[in-house]
Amino acid sequence: MNGFTLVFGLLAGLYGWGWWRLKTRGRAWPRWRLVLFCGSALAIGIVLSPPLMHWAHGDFRGHMVVHLVAGMIAPLGLVMAAPVTLALKNVPARWGRRWVGFVSSLPMRILSHPITAAVLNVGGLMALYLTDLYAVMLHSPGFALWLHWHFIIAGCLFSWAIAGPDPAPQRPALEWRFAVLVVSMAAHAMLSKWMFQFHFPASVPLEQVRQGAELMFYAGELPEALLVYVLARQWLRSRYRETPASITS
């Protein structure tokens, strides 16, 4: 039991409660979203449980598994489960207006801009692996803890900024979000190739770096491909609408 299991256990419980509340009032909320949210919360709880964290601390491959799950895959699941929309359906309407006011405020608009989110995400990774920060992290438990939270939150922020289903007024145009996604995917792939070839982080044995970077290159594509798919769907839905079967050519 640690802070991560506690927080994500509570969040999953809240989501389940909200889902149950809607269901008993006869309002539909898809069950796959409940499964997705609880599964993602569970995944974070597992990879950040003490035994796995211990492995990740001593082994770069373990660290990479934690990064992929807690920083990329699980945040995508959490965001695609639309927790804010579910919450807003469960509370009075004035809370919804407050939320819209909050995300429309200038600081939040800057923070949730796709470019900011991408820089926090991939830029954070570059700072961690290409400098001595990784070695600093291994010797400073407080910094390591903060980094884990940074990558979970930055991962959620990025998924939401690019293709999140939750309400976000004044989001940049779809083409822009697509471009930011492609650039950050390429940056992720480049970073893993540089790490593989030029031995970053330098404080880790080369064999571990190579296997970790390979994992980062290949497994990192799964959540990226999913994001491309979600974004492409949003675009195509408006472009190729359902055509009534009665219309003849």
Partner 1 sequence: MNGSNGKNRVRTRVGATLLAAVLLGIGVMAALDEIIFHQLLAWHHFVETDSSALALASDGLLHTLELVLLVSGAALMLRLHETGQHAAGYRGAGFLLGMGGFQLFDGIVDHKILGLHQVRYVDNLLIYDIGWNAAGLLLLAIGYWLLRRARHGEAMSQR
Which residues bind to partner 1, rule: CB under 8 A? 182, 185-187, 189-190, 192-194, 197-198, 221, 224-225, 228-229, 232-233, 236-237, 240-249
Burial 105-124 (b: 16+ CB within 10 A, else e): eeeebeebbbbbbbbbbbeb
Q: CA angle, corner 180, sides to 36 and 40, nearest 5?
A: 15
Q: What is the dihedral of CA 189, 190, 196, 197, to 10 degrees?
A: 150
In the complex, what is the shortest distance from the CB of residue 194 to partner 1, in angstroms, rounded to a whole number?
Answer: 6
The CA-atom distances, in angstroms, between 114 and each of 120, 157, 166, 183, 228 are 10, 8, 15, 11, 14
In the complex, what is the shortest distance from the CB of residue 68 to partner 1, in angstroms, rounded to a whole number?
Answer: 16
In the complex, what is the shortest distance from the CB of residue 242 to partner 1, in angstroms, rounded to a whole number?
Answer: 5
In the complex, what is the shortest distance from the CB of residue 188 to partner 1, in angstroms, rounded to a whole number?
Answer: 8
Nearer to partner 1, 88 or 181 (CB): 181
And the tokens for 29?
Answer: 């909320």
Nearer to partner 1, 119 or 187 (CB): 187
Nearer to partner 1, 1 or 173 (CB): 173
Nearer to partner 1, 2 or 197 (CB): 197
Instruction: State the Cα–Cα distance between residues 189 and 177, nearest whole angstrom.
Output: 18
In the complex, what is the shortest distance from the CB of residue 113 to partner 1, in angstroms, rounded to a whole number?
Answer: 21
In the complex, what is the shortest distance from the CB of residue 28 to partner 1, in angstroms, rounded to a whole number?
Answer: 21
Nearer to partner 1, 24 or 243 (CB): 243
Nearer to partner 1, 47 or 185 (CB): 185
Asked if 127 contacts 137 with a C-beta cutoff of 8 angstroms, the reply is no
Instruction: State the Cα–Cα distance between residues 209 and 232, nearest whole angstrom.
Output: 34
